[in-house]
């Protein structure tokens, strides 16, 4: 009798597992691929930003994995975040002669992020870019960058300064864009820290916000159609106030789209 009871208990456990598998149960955590975490502090900035709106997030740093392994892991994710950081190698967009005018460059990171962007577009996976993230998405779609705004762009707007924690300037969303809808079309000051910006706009993109000097500050698909959600901003929403209308809606929209992607797998 004792053996029979144990056998029945084991059988019941196996049955519960099988039913769970057959019922299509899916993980509740949203899985986000992060292109590069520069430090523990940087991931705290990004994770802290998104986790204000959903604390069921698993984070995967793609940078240490190697490109093939990163792409394999990405197949299990629900969204991709391309973070801020080094300048993109200008030879990729036809300005190799200006390399010396750039800051630090990471050629491996360039290759990794191009691969992640291409895969996100192929898989129709939600894609969010921040600062450098906007720049490399633009380049991936055959756009180019201004090498150095202070030298090459006539402006009185401060886009970067030594005291980067206190560098803010206004941006203005563009009418009839998705960014404009989720931010209620409200302009506002954003945290800024970049010396490069969009020169030639990438294919299939539209500019969705400008600084006061007409420098592009955000992009999305021109016509989304069957494409997945893609939004990229030149500013740093992860460094801004939790309730800021140019920060919170971007995080919430990305997470909403990642949740939909997960549910539709």
- CATH code assigned at 224: 3.40.50.880
Catalytic residue among 220, 238, 253, 257: 238
From the candidates 131, 178, 195, 253, give the one annotated as an active-site residue: 131
pLDDT band at residue 5 using 50, 70 and 90 as cut-offs: very low
* Inside any domain, residue 208: yes
* Residue-wise pLDDT tens digits, 81-124: 999 999 999 999 999 999 999 999 999 999 999 999 999 999 99
| 77 is a catalytic site residue | no
236 is catalytic: yes
Q: How far is CA 253 from CA 95, 194, 235, 237, in A?
A: 35, 24, 17, 13
Predicted pLDDT at 22 = 42
- Mark whether 131 is an active-site residue: yes
Q: What is the pLDDT of residues 34-64, one digit of tens each?
A: 999 865 555 568 988 999 999 899 999 999 9
Establish if 92 belongs to a structural domain: yes
| Per-residue pLDDT tens over the stretch 198-219 | 999 999 999 999 999 999 999 9
First-last CA distance in the chain = 45
Number of domains in the chain: 1
28 confidence band (pLDDT: 50, 70, 90):
confident
- Report how far residue 193's alpha carbon sits from residue 85's, in angstroms, rounded to the nearest whole number: 10
**Confidence at residue 166, expressed as pLDDT on a 0 to 100 scale:** 87
Query: What are the two backbone dihedrals, phi and then psi, of residue 4, each rounded to the nearest 5 degrees?
Result: -65, -40
User: What residues make up the domain containing 139?
Assistant: 29-263
pLDDT value of position 44: 66
Is residue 165 domain-resident? yes
Is residue 9 one of the residues assigned to a domain?
A: no
Residue 120 belongs to some domain of the structure: yes
Point out the catalytic residue in the list 178, 220, 236, 253.
236
Higher-confidence position of 13 and 95: 95
The Cα–Cα gap between 87 and 80 comes to 20
Please determine, for residue 197, whether its predicted confidence score (pLDDT) is greater than 90: yes
């Amino acid at each position: 009798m004792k053996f029979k009871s144990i056998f029945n208990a084991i059988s019941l456990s196996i049955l519960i597992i099988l039913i769970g598998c057959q019922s299509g149960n899916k993980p509740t955590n949203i899985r986000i691929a992060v292109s590069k975490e520069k430090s523990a502090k940087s991931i705290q900035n990004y994770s802290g930003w998104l986790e204000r709106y959903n604390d069921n997030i698993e984070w995967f740093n793609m940078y240490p994995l190697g490109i093939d392994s990163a792409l394999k892991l990405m197949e299990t994710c629900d969204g991709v975040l391309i973070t801020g950081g080094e300048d993109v190698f200008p030879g990729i967009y036809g300005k190799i002669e200006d390399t010396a005018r750039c800051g630090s460059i990471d050629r491996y990171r360039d290759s990794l992020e191009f691969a992640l962007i291409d895969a996100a577009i192929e898989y129709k996976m939600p894609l969010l870019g921040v600062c450098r993230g906007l720049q490399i998405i633009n380049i991936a779609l055959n756009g180019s960058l201004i090498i150095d705004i202070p030298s090459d762009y006539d402006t009185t707007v401060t886009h970067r300064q030594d005291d980067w924690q206190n560098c803010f300037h206004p941006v203005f969303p563009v009418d009839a864009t998705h960014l404009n809808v989720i931010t209620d079309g409200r302009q506002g000051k954003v945290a800024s820290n970049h010396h490069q910006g969009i020169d030639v706009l990438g294919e299939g993109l539209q500019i969705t916000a400008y600084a006061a000097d007409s420098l592009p500050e955000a992009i999305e698909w021109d016509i989304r159609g069957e494409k997945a959600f893609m939004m990229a901003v030149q500013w740093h929403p992860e460094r801004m106030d939790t309730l800021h209308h140019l920060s919170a809606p971007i995080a919430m929209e990305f997470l909403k789209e990642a949740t939909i992607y997960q549910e539709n797998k």
